Amino acid sequence: MPGSPGVNGTSNQAAEALTFLDLAPGYYTMSVQSDDGFRVSTAANQHDALATKLGEFDGGRGWADTFFSFAISQAGVYPFRLIWENGGGGANVNWYSVAADGSKHLVGDTTDTASIKAYRVAQGGTAPYFTSFTPDFFGFNLTLVDGGTASVVDEKTVTATVDNGAVQTTATKAGSTTTVTYKGATPFVTGSSHTLALSYKDKSGKSYTRTSTFQAPTGYILASYAAASADTSKPGFLVRTWQSTGEPNTIEWAEDQLAGKHGPNTVAHPEIFTDSQFGNKYFDETGVIDYWNSGGEGSFPNGGTQNVPGLDNTGENDDSYALEIFTFINLPAGKVTLAVNSDDGFRTYVVPSGDPRDIGLKLGEFNGGRGVTDTLYDLQVEKAGVYALRTVYEEGGGDAAVEWFSVDADGTTKHLINDKNDPASLKAYRAGTVSQPSTGPKLSISVSGNNVTITSDNGGTIEGSDKLGTGASWQTVGAAPQTIAVGTGNKYFRAKK
């Protein structure tokens, strides 16, 4: 590796390889063998933040192959970028193509007649490129940089569509950078997927169109999600613990564990779970969520030695368990930053129904194994009120700890939720009353084999759409109930009466 080893030997390295590959029409299979991670992408300008990703392994590993394929429709010289990283230990990377007969050929190998030709420089100028694209709850912000004196972006020509519908953008230019902003009148559905097409011209009149997909951030809390009230005589959280064996550090597995699907599911001291609600028994946690077994004590080390309910009255380290933490939290309007410090994973949901058996909408997560680390996630609360929130925590093996807290706008000041000794703490309650809609059908969905059945408790007509938000086209499916074969892509349904 050029320049290696460095001051840290072969550890903590990153490398970038830029090239132009001479490709004929056809189907290509490539591989990168690496220790550790890599990504291969292509775009008119290799440094484009919205470049098309062709292949990657994002993580640490011993040397191993990752294969990926793509198709070329027109012969030409195409820009490619390979980035590689090594955290520690062994270090290597090689990039090659795989022929139809299974033979392997390093890219750019001048001694191999079957090798794909690679060049450091290509003629034809450099296209403008994106340096950032950031979606928010109502739209997006992006920055577009001129590709050089021959491709200077004319900011007055910028137009955009979202989900095939034209949107109003503002474009301003400072030096070689054009900033484009779109703000819609209504928020995106939390976590929903969208398509973007951005068109513009350079000063010479050459036209460019870029398309991409993006996902709206999670965390927009609609006013309609609010509960009617909270029972202020019951501060704290409902906590439920399940323990089994073989927890693989995934939230999906933990959800099944909490549902009793990974048996035998047991707790060491089930007698402490006495609050029978929502079809389960819970422990009434009247304090804060600051549970700790061993290892690092997280962001609140001086006060956080609470035992996990039901498991560790003797202080031992317990493995392969999941916690469900349910509460009604009083949230102010505007931006609110919550956080979980955990060893291992977690996921937080908002639950508009107020029933934890309804998983709800995801707000933030870390889905995997780790030592104690903060994960911050932002909420945008439409209206101040009491909202039902649910956090699932899982412990695979080794050390165990979990804290749930808010973070001030300075990004560093932290407050455990429901800390009675902290006036800045968000208040939490174990019980609340949820507002029920007065009219309108409620959908329910069941799956059998390759079919989804959608029913309505109040009649009405089922409508379907491939999109949500801007550009959605709702089509009548038929009177409820409806059974629909599972297909590809996204499909959304609603009941109308």
pLDDT of residue 440: 58
> Which pLDDT tens digit goes with each residue over 34-54?
999 999 999 888 888 888 899
Residues 395 and 474 in one domain: no
Q: Which of 11-15, 88-92, 321-325, 455-459 has the highest mean pLDDT?
A: 321-325
Amino acid identity for residue 275 in this structure: D
Residues 291 and 401 in one domain: yes
pLDDT of residue 110: 95
Angle at 321 between CA 319 and CA 325, to 5 degrees: 135
Residues 311 and 388 in one domain: yes
Is the pLDDT score of 147 beyond 60? yes
pLDDT of residue 468: 72
CA nearest neighbour of 288 among 345, 236, 252: 236
Span 185-207, mean pLDDT? 89
How far apart (Å, rounded) are the C-alpha atoms in residues 112 and 242? 59
Q: Per-residue confidence at 14, pLDDT binned at 50, 70, 90?
A: very high
pTM of the predicted model, to two decimals?
A: 0.69
Q: Please report whether residue 4 resides in a domain.
A: no
CA nearest neighbour of 286 among 233, 354, 346, 339: 233
Mean pLDDT of all residues belonging to the chain: 89
Is the pLDDT score of 313 beyond 60? no
Q: Per-residue confidence at 319, pLDDT binned at 50, 70, 90?
A: confident
For the ranges 142-146, 180-184, 293-297, 306-310, the lowest mean pLDDT is seen at 293-297
Is the pLDDT score of 424 beyond 70? yes
Span 252-266, mean pLDDT? 88
Is the pLDDT score of 452 beyond 90? no
Q: Per-residue confidence at 441, pLDDT binned at 50, 70, 90?
A: low
- Residue 431 is encoded by which pair of tokens? 């019980």
Residues 454 and 380 in one domain: no
Span 469-484, mean pLDDT? 81
Span 232-257, mean pLDDT? 93
Q: What total number of domains does the chain contain? A: 4
Q: Please report whether residue 274 resides in a domain.
A: yes
For the ranges 22-26, 182-186, 391-395, the lowest mean pLDDT is seen at 182-186
Instruction: Characterise 272 by phi-psi region: left (phi > 0), alpha (psi -120 to 50), beta (else).
Output: alpha
Per-residue H/E/C for the chain:
CCCCCECCECCCEEEEEEEEEEECCEEEEEEEEEECEEEEEECCCCCCCCCEEEEEECCCCCCEEEEEEEEECCCEEEEEEEEEEECCCCCEEEEEEECCCCCEEECCCCCCCCCCCEECCCCCCCCCEEEEEEECCCEEEEEEECCCCCCCEEEEEEEEEECCEEECEEEEEECCEEEEEEECCCCCCCCCEEEEEEEEEECCCCEEEEEEEEECCCCEECHHHCCCEECCCCECEEEEEEECCCCCCCHHHHHHHHCCCCCCCECCCHHHCCEEECCEEEEEECCCCEEEEECCCCCCCCCCCECCCCCCCCCCCCCCEEEEEEEEEEECCEEEEEEEEEECEEEEEECCCCCCCCCCEEEEEECCCCCCEEEEEEEEECCCEEEEEEEEEEECCCCEEEEEEEECCCCCCEEECCCCCCCCCCCEECCEECCCCCCCCCEEEEEECCEEEEEECCCCEEEEECCCCCCCCCEEEEECCEEEECCCCCCEEEEEC
Number of other residues whose CB lies within 10 A of the CB of residue 465 = 16
Residues 97 and 211 in one domain: no
Residues 376 and 454 in one domain: no
Span 215-225, mean pLDDT? 88
> Which pLDDT tens digit goes with each residue over 278-292?
999 999 999 999 998
Is the pLDDT score of 316 beyond 60? no
Span 364-378, mean pLDDT? 93
Residues 155 and 250 in one domain: no
Greatest CA separation found in the chain? Answer: 79
Is the pLDDT score of 439 beyond 70? no
Q: What is the CATH number of the domain that holds 184?
A: 2.60.40.1220
Q: Please report whether residue 1 resides in a domain.
A: no
Q: What is the CATH number of the domain that holds 57?
A: 2.60.120.1560
pLDDT of residue 438: 47
Residue where a domain terminates, one of 189, 217, 245: 217
Residues 53 and 148 in one domain: no
- Distance, first Cα to last Cα, the chain: 65
Q: Please report whether residue 6 resides in a domain.
A: no
Q: Do residues 359 and 351 touch, judged by C-beta distance below 8 A?
A: yes
Residue where a domain terminates, one of 149, 184, 217: 217
Q: What percent of the chain has pLDDT over 70?
A: 95
Residues 351 and 406 in one domain: yes
Q: Please report whether residue 414 resides in a domain.
A: yes
How far apart (Å, rounded) are the C-alpha atoms in residues 116 and 109? 8
How far apart (Å, rounded) are the C-alpha atoms in residues 111 and 144? 40
pLDDT of residue 146: 93
Angle at 142 between CA 136 and CA 146, to 5 degrees: 175
Q: Per-residue confidence at 402, pLDDT binned at 50, 70, 90?
A: very high
Q: Please report whether residue 381 resides in a domain.
A: yes
For the ranges 186-190, 335-339, 375-379, 480-484, the lowest mean pLDDT is seen at 186-190
Residue where a domain terminates, one of 160, 195, 217: 217
Residues 309 and 418 in one domain: yes
Q: What is the CATH number of the domain that holds 235?
A: 2.60.120
Residues 188 and 81 in one domain: no
Q: What percent of the chain has pLDDT over 90?
A: 58
Classify residue 303 by burial, with Cβ atoms within 10 Å: 0-12, 13-18, 19+. Answer: middle
pLDDT of residue 332: 96
Q: Please report whether residue 322 resides in a domain.
A: yes
Q: Which residue has the higher pLDDT, 186 or 276?
A: 276
How far apart (Å, rounded) are the C-alpha atoms in residues 316 and 142? 50
| Domain interval for residue 148 | 129-217
pLDDT of residue 304: 55
pLDDT of residue 89: 83
Is the pLDDT score of 144 beyond 60? yes
- Residue 1 is encoded by which pair of tokens? 């590796």
Q: Please report whether residue 448 resides in a domain.
A: yes
CA nearest neighbour of 338 among 299, 396, 295, 293: 299
pLDDT of residue 82: 97
Span 115-128, mean pLDDT? 86
Is the pLDDT score of 359 beyond 80? no
Residues 390 and 484 in one domain: no
